[in-house]
Structure 1
Amino acid sequence: MSQPKFRRSLVAVAITSVMMMPAMAQQADTAASDEFKGLERIEVTARRKTENLQEVPVSVSSFSANDLEEVGVEDITELQQRVPNATIQVSRGTNSTLTAYIRGVGQQDPLWGFEPGVGVYIDDVYVARPQGAVLEVFDLERIEVLRGPQGTLYGKNTIGGAVKYVTKELTGYNELSVQGTVGSFNQRDLKLSGQTALSDNFFVGGALASLQRDGFGEFRNTGEENYNKDLMTGRLSAKWLATEDLSVKFSYDKTKDESNSKGGHRLVTSLVTGQTPYDNVYDSNTAMPTDNLVETEGYSMVVDWDINANWGFKSVTARREGYTNTNIDFNSTGEPIFMVPAIYEDDQTTQEFQLSYSNNDNFDFVGGVYFYDGEACGVFGTVLPMYLAALGGVTIDNGGCVQTDSVALFGQGNYRFTDQLTLTLGGRYTKDEKEADVSRITYLGVHYVNRDDQNIGTPFAVNSDFTTKADWSRFSPHVALNYKLNDDMMVYGSYSNGFKSGGVDMRADQSLNPTISEPYDPEIVDTFEVGMKSELMDGMMRLNASVFYSDYQDMQVTVQRVVPSGVSSQVLNAGQATVQGFEVESVIALSDTFNITAMLGHIDAEFDSVVYTEPATGDTTDVTNAWSFANTPEWTGSLGFNKTFDTEVGQIVWSANYSYRGKTQMFEAPSMLDQGSYSLVNTSLVWYQNGGNWHVGLHGKNLTDEEYRVGGYNFGPTFGDDAIVAYYGDPRTVSLTVGYKF
């Protein structure tokens, strides 16, 4: 137990030391200090307008395309190492489904019907489903991670925060770049991007990426690759400058992921086969096909109109679609014990109208109306060939659709009483309507929902077959007051409210719980935050910090148990909790060529009350003192540096980062899956040719080859065997990237 405490203390001391380095900086070379130009200005759109990061009373981390290129970030999950109090990782046994938590709030169950707690946005378009939301980093302007409820400007399902993926803007300049990467496990990536002007007022651009990698392990009984990558993604865009004040941008993106389904690492010996846990955590066995397909695509049109010097109008019209066909073997023994084939389909159409005003003096405002029309459908089977073997096994199929219609009216304004004091007031009224069709059928025999040649089961019982409706409305206010102590320091205090939409349990079994057709209500978070944003030491140091307190109400608690007819599930508004903590982010420029970055996050999340009722017996169970927050380590931190060397043949940028993550509980109840504290070490060396045409990057990640779990399944003794399997983050990798810009 002493090692985690030592590591946590070491990180805290190291980061504190970095933040207290004025004396070191003042001892830097005098000539370098005289030439120092100051830290780069960072612009964000956290409040639906372009602002200086240091002037926004919101906890937000921003990463530019250049920042991510220098450290070799491949997808958004790597931001977890650089954002305080955040969990951003691949969900359980999937390749491209996202699990996101910020400040203890999120959603780890990707089943249709459940809503995320952290909103993901591609430009201004909300991505409703987690499938395909592990976004690859390419053709990018920046990524912003907003922490805390964002309900006023971003709406429902952002009670933990929001991740904004901002694509590269079309400028009309002729650009073409090609980049190739080779690396460990036969990594071979190719990225192409470019843009041009077809006329003085019509620009087009596009990007394409092929991302391939062999598996970190294999399915030993079949020889198939495990944890491989086989992904294609692309984007097309066009921009029409109709007049000096009016522009229209069209965008299209598509991603196709055909990586194999992931096999889990068994943590216990199989009671059926005697298989002991493999030494290589990336090796597994499977009794299912490893075929997997995740496709997502989206279309959008954005109209920007500067009506006059004070007023502006913006329209965002978008449609997104997704399809998933996958297989998960929960036992991972090679014997057909507990298997789940699944199909997910979703589509969404959104329309947002924004109206903005600024008198360029002491008042600005943005408001509008938002419409959402979406349907999420799916079907999955719990296939148990060895259960009741005399009857040919048993299969329990769950299926159905959720139709969601939502409309919201929002507005937020900033009034500057003086050059130092600004008041922000905002609010959003949302009306949600949902209709769900739910079915649950028990078959005798094997019934694969995604394989026609295996649909040989005979229907035996209808456990659920119902349609239910519900609607909710909610007003989410926001108020903030920020005060500039001087040109270099601003302090602020804020209150924010947000909610995650209610829904219906798509695993519902009416035969066990006749009232399970009743929808569960939204969950609500009220957050109070006090923060500081500062630039110190004549612009050589940026130090941002915040302290927050959240009242978490009507938490949607999912309770699953193994029963003779399969897995029984219920979702209840059974939880109340208190979440509090602090976050610190800093960068220090010891010279124009040497920066040190640091981050530290602490969170204390406790359940105040969690009580639920057993549907079969009516008995009340109080697990308040037995449960803890999932995917919420108490401490997160990182320490890194960036050093630039000027040479006759160009610039060489050397960077390194050490990140720490405290003990993490995978689910609310403690289990073998829980991950102890761990640290990751990464380093990169990138050469940029004079003139900017060529660049070559060497990137090493997880250099100490740390084994760390990012998810798993825990069903205990299930149908004759223990189904306790874990999924792991990437091992040590080294890659070489070569890029050329024409």
Structure 2
Amino acid sequence: MRPIRKMKLLHPSTCALLAACSGAIGAVHAQEATGAPAAATTDDNMSRVVVTARRREESLQDVPVSVTAFSADQLSKQALPDVTALALSLPNTTLKASRATNSTLTAFIRGVGQADPLAGFESGVGIYVDDIYLARPQAAVADIYDVERIEVLRGPQGTLYGRNTIGGALKYVTRKLGPQRDVRVRATLGDYGQRDGVLTASTPLTDTARISGTFARFTRDGFGDNLTTGKGNYDKDVTAGRVSIELVPNQDLFVRLAGDFTQDDSNPKNGHRLIVGRTSRAPILDDVFDTRGNLTKVLGRDQEVRSYGGSVTVEYTVDSAWRLKSITAARRDKSWAPIDFDALPVVDMEVPALYTNRQFSQELQATYSGARLQGVAGVYYMDANAFNQFDTILAGAVPTSTFTLGDIDTKAWAAYFDGSYTLAEGLSLSLGGRYTVDQREADVLRQIYFGLAGSPRMGNPNAILFRTDTDLRGGLLERKDKKFTPRVALSWKMNDAHNLYASYSEGFKGGGFDPRVNVVGTRLPIATARAGYAPETIETTELGLKSAFHGGRITTNLAMFHSDYQDVQIPGSIAIDTNGDGRDDSFAGVTTNAGKARIKGVELEAVANLTPNFMVAGMYSYIDASYREYIVANVNVASQRTFQNTPKNSANLRANYDIPLPVMGHNGRVSLIGSYAYKGATSQFETPSILDQDSYRIWDASIVWTRADGKVRAGLHGKNLGDEHYKTAGYLFPTLGNEGTLTAFYGNPRTVSATIELRF
């Protein structure tokens, strides 16, 4: 196990100096500017990006919120494969596919997130599609298509959004349909057998009705091989689609009916063993993308993820100041997930799992835009169910199959408001608040059966029951959590080029129940199990400066933040010895509320349009996240714990140089795009282990030709050109089974692809 690297904390005077330097640079540039510069042509100019972070259209530089936006054109030029690729250029953000999955999202922003996708655990980072909150992370690793932009907000979000999210928000914003027929085609060919295609078509039906449809296929062979099954490992087989109908009976009324689906038929993704088999002495494979896992089915079905949903959005403009909005949405998903923990051809530690989720939400919202007062107020309701059942098949002196069932119902009500009032020219005060009620009911069942053939509910009707460790069904698990969380911000627009803001906000996430809780095996008091885990809260203070120099050709966004994090929810699973023979023979779900934590950091984003054809952009972030109180067996072990998925340092530098180049008689330009990303050392869990990842670097490059009218684009893209191998997740159970489980999952290796986009 490698030691934790010690780094000096960021001194407050350093933050002050950084802020002062940013202001000094702005003053120098303002003095140097003697006339209006040429308009910037690149899409990365932050001063011209319009976002809806505060539920109204505003320039990115005018919003007193830490937000980064990616436009559709920027996403297209960089050929980002899915939403996880955004993390390389986002400050203090981790986005990745969860362990052993292709499409379940693990998201952390400023040290706040949720790594466990089991029922009962809600993400600390909210995922929104057109302001519709996705309650569960399954199928949230979305391929990027049919979007107008993606916005990422950092810090607690609750006074502006339907569902409170304690760490931040990731927003997909799809484009509204135009009055003309529009057909778009995108095709991609790449190594590892990559074959992607997206077809989007929209057309007016009448003067007041429009329809659009998108169909997408994303396929790829595996980055490695499963040496047991002969199939690819880390392959991709995803089909997705979206249909929307928009009605505009008059200029005041807008109605959108939308539906979407995602079908993931990829092979099971198995990890790479980092230790030799304890009994078989199976060696460590040379290729980190190869595996030997043998579990391929759940209840007789291959791995499969289905996700679909529908929504109705109605917007009504009452007058020049008032607008009303209703968002009604429902979603479902189901996953058959064969998880081979040990990644060996023997049955040693395997988990065939079934996940199902459903949700319904209704939001009513009113926005006001007056001369001095602008704001939003709304009410929100959500009814959601998260269900999982799985066997943990474990070899040992007494082979067993432990069946676990978790059935969690969540009902949430909320009322929120956020208003901004202009106190004087350039000076505005924002006040917001949210009252949240989270009600949860759960059924949890845990039973141990003899043998390695599984339990009756997972396909073995002849299984013999050994013991019931947990049976908390029939209304035994209930809790209701309530909280008011305020937000206040003061923004001073010193002039057209500089916007200074300070804010204080609170975040809240309700408590719940661990579906893996083991009452008998850990001698856990029933009262403790019934209480579940407590809500977590955060208080964040932020100071930011958004600046533009040379008439907007150079923009910088600087933010410094400090958070007090209370009762941090940390779910996990540990190996246990149930019979006192000195050998771990089972596991238990353990969810800890770490009492206190402190998180502080700094984030800097900058874009420089050096010439009309040459743009350089960069990002640097630093975060110091540490536990202050973490009680285990009545002992404070805070000094021995780290924040997972929160590297101290992250950086990104990218450049875009455009060269006019006509092709086949059509004017256009070639864009030469390069980027460098750095991620500091990252812990996978709260305790150090061999699964932790040292710092690493990623190089990307693209050559893209775009026709002058924008109707043709062709590109060649290289990702991770240094072929860096870096761990993103893993399983740590080295004492369980006959072989021991210590497996790692890795980010994508070097890939090269060619894309062509046509618009008719």
Q: TM-score, normalised by structure 1?
A: 0.94
- Give CA deviations for 1:537-586 in whole Å, capped at 9, x if unaligned: 22210011000000000111335321245211221323310000000000
Which amino acid letter does the alignment assign opposite residue 574 of structure 1? A
Match of 1:643 among 649, 652, 657: 657
**Paired residues for 1:463-474 under 5 Å:** 463-466=469-472, 467-474=476-483
Counterpart of 2:181 in structure 1 is 174
Give yes or no for the alignment of 1:481 onto 2:517: no
- Give CA deviations for 1:269-303 in whole Å, capped at 9, x if unaligned: 11122112111000011131163111111100000
Distance 1:315 1:156, change over 3 A: closer
Match of 2:367 among 356, 364, 380: 356
Match of 1:626 among 640, 644, 650: 640
Distance 2:80 2:28 in 1: 30
Distance 1:536 1:607, change over 3 A: same
Match of 1:284 among 281, 291, 294: 291
Which amino acid letter does the alignment assign opposite residue 176 of structure 2? E
SS at structure 1 position matched to 2:657:
strand
Distance 1:19 1:73 in 2: 34
Give yes or no for the alignment of 1:693 onto 2:707: no
Distance 1:665 1:450 in 2: 38
Match of 2:561 among 548, 559, 562: 548
SS at structure 1 position matched to 2:267:
coil
Match of 2:515 among 506, 509, 518: 506
CA contact (8 A) 1:446 1:457 kept: no
Distance 1:143 1:87 in 2: 16
CA contact (8 A) 2:390 2:458 kept: no
Counterpart of 2:599 in structure 1 is 579
Counterpart of 2:629 in structure 1 is 609
Which amino acid letter does the alignment assign opposite residue 566 of structure 2? Q
Distance 2:423 2:27 in 1: 37
Counterpart of 2:111 in structure 1 is 104
Which amino acid letter does the alignment assign opposite residue 596 of structure 1? V
- Give CA deviations for 1:346-372 in whole Å, capped at 9, x if unaligned: 10000000011122x101121010000
Match of 1:275 among 261, 282, 307: 282
CA contact (8 A) 1:156 1:501 kept: no
Range with bigger deviation, 263-272 or 576-585: 263-272
Range with bigger deviation, 537-546 or 470-479: 537-546
Distance 1:332 1:397 in 2: 20
CA contact (8 A) 1:221 1:286 kept: yes
CA contact (8 A) 1:296 1:323 kept: yes
Counterpart of 1:437 in structure 2 is 443
Distance 2:566 2:289 in 1: 39
Distance 1:263 1:633, change over 3 A: same
- Give CA deviations for 1:296-344 in whole Å, capped at 9, x if unaligned: 1110000000011221100000001010111111111211000001000
Which amino acid letter does the alignment assign opposite residue 446 of structure 1? L
Counterpart of 1:617 in structure 2 is none
Which amino acid letter does the alignment assign opposite residue 483 of structure 2? R
CA contact (8 A) 1:446 1:455 kept: no
How far does residue 666 in structure 1 lie from its aligned partner after superposition?
Answer: 0.5
Counterpart of 1:418 in structure 2 is 424
Distance 1:522 1:549, change over 3 A: same
- Give CA deviations for 1:657-696 in whole Å, capped at 9, x if unaligned: 1000000010000000000000000011111123332211
CA contact (8 A) 1:630 1:668 kept: yes
Distance 1:625 1:425 in 2: 37
CA contact (8 A) 1:433 1:471 kept: yes
**Paired residues for 1:368-379 under 5 Å:** 368-379=378-389
Match of 1:316 among 319, 327, 330: 327
How far does residue 435 in structure 1 lie from its aligned partner after superposition?
Answer: 0.4
**Paired residues for 1:200-219 under 5 Å:** 200-219=207-226
**Paired residues for 1:182-201 under 5 Å:** 182-201=189-208
Which amino acid letter does the alignment assign opposite residue 343 of structure 1? L
Counterpart of 2:98 in structure 1 is 91
Give yes or no for the alignment of 1:592 onto 2:612: yes
How far does residue 35 in structure 1 lie from its aligned partner after superposition?
Answer: 6.4
Counterpart of 1:400 in structure 2 is 406
Distance 2:183 2:28 in 1: 43
Give yes or no for the alignment of 1:266 onto 2:273: yes
**Paired residues for 1:215-364 under 5 Å:** 215-289=222-296, 291-359=302-370, 361-364=371-374
SS at structure 2 position matched to 1:67:
helix
**Paired residues for 1:107-126 under 5 Å:** 107-126=114-133
Which amino acid letter does the alignment assign opposite residue 400 of structure 2? V
Distance 1:36 1:381, change over 3 A: closer
Counterpart of 1:531 in structure 2 is 544
Which amino acid letter does the alignment assign opposite residue 323 of structure 2? G
How far does residue 20 in structure 1 lie from its aligned partner after superposition?
Answer: 10
Distance 1:579 1:34, change over 3 A: closer
Distance 1:35 1:164 in 2: 29
Which amino acid letter does the alignment assign opposite residue 488 of structure 1? A
- Give CA deviations for 1:445-490 in whole Å, capped at 9, x if unaligned: 2344699655542222111111310001010100000001111101
Which amino acid letter does the alignment assign opposite residue 698 of structure 2? L
Range with bigger deviation, 181-190 or 713-722: 713-722
Distance 2:466 2:569 in 1: 32
CA contact (8 A) 2:356 2:386 kept: yes
Which amino acid letter does the alignment assign opposite residue 349 of structure 2? F
SS at structure 2 position matched to 1:151:
coil
CA contact (8 A) 1:508 1:517 kept: no
How far does residue 416 in structure 1 lie from its aligned partner after superposition?
Answer: 0.2
SS at structure 2 position matched to 1:516:
helix
SS at structure 2 position matched to 1:78:
helix
SS at structure 2 position matched to 1:721:
coil
Counterpart of 1:462 in structure 2 is 468
SS at structure 2 position matched to 1:586:
strand
- Give CA deviations for 1:63-107 in whole Å, capped at 9, x if unaligned: 001001111112100011010000011111110000000000000
CA contact (8 A) 1:117 1:157 kept: no
Distance 1:451 1:192, change over 3 A: farther
Distance 1:36 1:222 in 2: 54
Distance 1:544 1:438 in 2: 47
Counterpart of 2:696 in structure 1 is 678
- Give CA deviations for 1:420-465 in whole Å, capped at 9, x if unaligned: 1000000000111110011001111234469965554222211111
CA contact (8 A) 2:83 2:144 kept: yes
Give yes or no for the alignment of 1:652 onto 2:670: yes
CA contact (8 A) 1:19 1:586 kept: no
Distance 1:482 1:251, change over 3 A: same
Distance 2:35 2:721 in 1: 36
Distance 1:295 1:697, change over 3 A: same
How far does residue 167 in structure 1 lie from its aligned partner after superposition?
Answer: 1.2
Distance 1:456 1:685, change over 3 A: farther
Identity level (%): 40
How far does residue 50 in structure 1 lie from its aligned partner after superposition?
Answer: 1.1
CA contact (8 A) 1:118 1:163 kept: yes
